[in-house]
Amino acid sequence: MSWGLIFALTLMLFSLRFIFLIPGLPLRLPVFIQQALTYSAPCLLVAICAPIVLLEEQQFRDISDNPYLWGTLFCIIASRLIKNTLLTVVLTLVFFYTLIYLF
């Protein structure tokens, strides 16, 4: 089901962005559709990342010793505080691999 959803969202997002790249096509979407489309990328990211972070062999991971969850939370907090993408990625990778080494 999630693969079908990912492909459907990919097709929808590609087709909508391709339509807007055609210069001679005067197309205006209603405001509520423009607002709804702002959520497509975060939804797709959650659909990809949530099973990786929360599941292991079709079972929920334990929260206390889940390095993927702690790495995700660290990345969210670091990105909000630092506001530098490269530094956030490097710090998150160091934090995550340190957790993997410890657990």
Q: For residue 53, report the phi and psi dihedrals to the nearest 5 degrees.
A: -75, -40
- Whether residue 10 has pLDDT greater than 90: yes
Residue indicated by tokens 């630092």: 82
Confidence band (pLDDT; 50, 70, 90) for 64?
A: confident
Give SS3 for 86.
helix
Give every CB contact of residue 37 below 8 A, 6+ residues apart in sequence: 16, 29
Q: How confident is residue 20, by pLDDT bands cut at 50, 70 and 90?
A: confident
Any idea where the domains of the chain sit in the sequence?
30-102
pTM for this predicted structure: 0.65
State percent of the chain over pLDDT 70: 99
Residue 8 confidence (pLDDT) above 90: yes
Element (H, E) at 82: helix 67-82
Residues in the chain, how many? 103
pLDDT of residue 27: 75
